[in-house]
Amino acid sequence: MKAGLSRWLGALLLAGLCQAGARAEAIPNLRGAQDAPVTILVFSAFACQYCAETRAALEQVLAQYPGKVNLVYKHFPLGADAGAYLPHEAALAAGEQGKFWEMHDALFAHQGQLADRTGIEALARSLHLDPLRFDAALDSRRGAARIQADVAEANALKVQATPTFYIGGYKFEGAQPASVFKTVIDYMLTAGPAGRAQSLQDKLRQTEQQLTPAIEKMRGTK
């Protein structure tokens, strides 16, 4: 279990800075209360099936901890070409019209439509976006700079897989069940950072049998 814990526990200072930065982010890529005490920071790709699988778990957690947990989305596409960037640019273009999360959900729900712009534009129409504004944003590729900044942040944090999550000082790689997030969140919400870290390690040791499948799944994404 020691090896599992080392995989789970990230650099506290680095991730803490990342969490603080998340709270300062512009609203469009933040879901939940902006002043929530716990932030889940996710580096994700719209074309990643494991990222899509985690959506339900994240929605469950946000619903269970209203006002206490928020989610910040960071772009980490599976490639650096225009095709890989396209769905991410579409989400940012939708965000300009106040519908980042609606497009986020639509892209994950229709991963088969991400290969070309026609499919992306169909999703935009289904969300009743202004087509001229949406097309102009895609044509200009002004969202690319934001995506590149997120990728640079991911590289600085040595993110190697999608999805990768940071919750306070803890790092998780690969699709996770809601129970994993809840274990960390419950201890993040307790007082005292030193006691919180120790309590979490004790809890993980006590629940090793239940958490082993999640750890193995993370290893499978490497």
pLDDT digits (tens, 9 = 90+) for 142-199: 999 999 999 999 999 999 999 999 998 789 999 999 999 999 999 888 855 555 555 5
- Domain map (residue ranges) of the chain: 1-76+159-222, 79-155
Mean pLDDT across the chain: 82
pLDDT digits (tens, 9 = 90+) for 41-56: 999 999 999 999 999 9
Count of Cβ atoms closer than 10 Å to residue 56 Cβ:
11
Q: What is the DSSP letter of 74?
A: E
From 3.40.50.300, 3.40.50.2020, 3.40.30.10, 3.90.550.10, which CATH number describes the 1-76+159-222 domain?
3.40.30.10
Residue 8, pLDDT above cutoff 50: no
Residue 12, pLDDT above cutoff 60: no
